[in-house]
Chains A and B, each alone.
Chain A
Amino acid sequence: MTLYYFQRLIEIFPFFLKGLWMTVAVSGLALLFGTILGFALGTLRASNSRLLKWPIGGYVAVIRGTPFVVQIFIVFFILPEWGIQLDAFPAAVLALTMLGTAFICEIVAGGIRAVDRGQWEAAASSGLNIFQQLRFVILPQAMQTILPPLVGQYVLLIKDSSVVSVIGVTELTRVGWVTVVRIPEGLMVFSLVGLLYFAISYPLIRLSNSLERKMAVQQVRL
């Protein structure tokens, strides 16, 4: 029987690849938007402006302090009541972007704060405006602190994308659920699901580790 199911599983493997593609699409878009927004908010959060600091801090606290599955339900089921109707795919990207933004914002703000205040003063003293200070002096140094945990965060977000299966996006995890109904070999099916997640996460984990080592070496040089 097991062999039969295994053969069935191989037959429908393209279905898994489609799910994998959907996972990559949802998390890829969310990573892209989350990184852009996270850097913008993180930079503002590291600034000295209270006006900006508090709302961003509040947003980060709410996102970090509530389960992701609840956030998805709110985006998908509650927003329509206010007239914002989203399909499952954009809703999933939006929710995952909001999650990623909050975590990346914290990583970026931490990295910027770790840069010595004297660097800001030196850059400002030479006549650079605030954007030039950030772009040429502060961010290149902050990136050393930011990069390793940022890539680590990408891995977490890719895995968190499995949660969007609850609103019916046919990504990898949902493919697993659908399949296990027809092929009642849970271990076999979800091992395959896990293996496919691992296939995209592991290179990133390796990247994060090697970045960490590289940055540590660079820190010594600086």
Chain B
Amino acid sequence: MIKFEGVNKWFGSLHVLQDIHLHVKPGEVVVICGPSGSGKSTLIRCINRLEKFQKGRLSVDGTPLHDYGINLTKLRAEIGFVFQQFHLYPHMTALENVTLAPMQVRKLNRKEAEELGREKLKRVGLDDKETSYPAQLSGGQQQRVAIARGLAMSPKIMLFDEPTSALDPEMIGEVLDVMVKLAGEGMTMCVVTHEMGFARQVAHRVIFMDDGQIVESGQPGQFFDNPQTERAAQFISKILTH
């Protein structure tokens, strides 16, 4: 589904992604963790081409991103992206946030789109908030609307960039619950997060990144209980004690 082959990226002289090799299979849930600045956000932002890379090959759902002239909007329509800061459209209601892309990209009419939008809002437990504006919602609710917005395009892949890092602790659970449900339905997911409970519960694989490299990759139980590298062990002890 997603295939990194020797991907390299530089920000100026900073080598932010170093020779990344990673295959994500359909239906797989991959959690990516690592210290800040390790390149994990950059990695998943490459998947829907919010970031470009300079060297290597990356294909997503059969589309080679290293080629010129690819149809970006078509690619992005198949990939849901959830941001740390939600980035809901502040001038639109929750329902309008969810229906915009289905109407404009998938060309659904308003009635079909609203039906679809309500269904997605219901799926994240917010069917009573469709007329609310983002500013009237809590952080956890906003992030769930953002997930519904991604799901409304019936994506083949969902990407999450630290979806709970900007949330108050009491709201993290409601967002993770939605993500756990999604994983249970067989969605292909790449999740940048430090939520170990989530990783243990649903991840098929945990990737540990440091300094732009994939340092370690393994099943969650094995990774958290028995890390193979010193750097991973240090990282795990830090997120456990904080």
Contacts and interface: CB of A to CB of B under 8 A. Distances in A.
Interface of A: 116, 118-119, 121-129, 132, 136-137, 140-141, 221-222
A136 B100 contact: yes
Given A121-B81, A127-B78, 17 more contacts: A116-B87, A122-B83, A122-B88, A124-B50, A124-B72, A125-B80, A126-B101, A127-B74, A127-B77, A127-B153, A128-B101, A132-B104, A132-B105, A140-B91, A141-B90, A222-B90, A222-B135
Contacts, number: 69
A200 B8 CA distance: 61
Contact of A126 (B90, B105, B135): B105
Nearest to B84: A118
A143 B83 CA distance: 24
For the complex, would chain A's binding face be called helix, strand, loop or mixed by DSSP majority?
Answer: helix
Contacts of A126: 76-77, 81, 100-101, 105, 149-150, 153
B73 interface: yes
Residue with the highest number of chain A CB atoms closer than 10 Å, among B78, B89, B146: B89
Contact of A121 (B50, B73, B88, B150): B50
A217 to B, nearest CB: 12
A125 B48 contact: yes
Interface residues of B, number: 29
Interface string B40-76: 0000000010100000000000000000000011101
A126 B87 CA distance: 12
Nearest to B89: A137
B81 A125 contact: yes
Interface in B1-60: 48, 50
23 contacts: A116-B87, A118-B83, A118-B85, A121-B50, A121-B83, A121-B87, A122-B87, A124-B50, A125-B48, A125-B50, A125-B76, A125-B81, A126-B100, A126-B101, A126-B105, A126-B149, A126-B150, A127-B73, A127-B77, A136-B89, A137-B89, A137-B100, A221-B135
